[in-house]
Amino acid sequence: MTDGTRERVLDGSLAELDRAFFASERSARTLVDGLSETHGTWRAAPGSWSVAECLDHLAVGNRVYLEAMAPPAARARSEGRLQRSDAVPGLIGGWFVRSLEPPVTRRLRAPRKIVPRAGPPLADAAAAFFAAHAQVVAFLHDYADVDLAGVRFPNPFIRGVRFSLATGLHVLAAHERRHLWQAWNVRGACGV
Tell me which DSSP letter residue 43 carries: -
Give pLDDT tens digits for 145-182: 999 999 999 999 989 999 999 999 999 999 999 999 99
Query: Residue 14: inside a domain, yes or no?
Result: no
pLDDT over 70 at 4, yes or no: no
Q: Which CATH number is 57's domain given?
A: 1.20.120
Neighbours of 78 (CB within 10 A): 8
Give pLDDT tens digits for 6-46: 455 688 999 999 999 999 999 999 999 999 999 999 999 99
Query: Residue 120: inside a domain, yes or no?
Result: yes
Structural domain total, the chain: 1
Query: Residue 13: inside a domain, yes or no?
Result: no
Residue 68 has φ and ψ, to the nearest 5°, of: -80, -30
Domain with 48, as residue range(s), is 21-189
Query: Residue 33: inside a domain, yes or no?
Result: yes
Query: Of 141, 146, 154, nearest to 68 (Cα)?
Result: 154
CA atoms within 13 A on the CB side of 143: 30
Query: Residue 118: inside a domain, yes or no?
Result: yes
Query: Residue 2: inside a domain, yes or no?
Result: no
Question: Using DSSP, how many helices (H) and how many strands (E) does the chain show?
Answer: 6, 2
Percent of the chain with pLDDT over 70: 95
Query: Residue 12: inside a domain, yes or no?
Result: no
Query: Residue 92: inside a domain, yes or no?
Result: yes
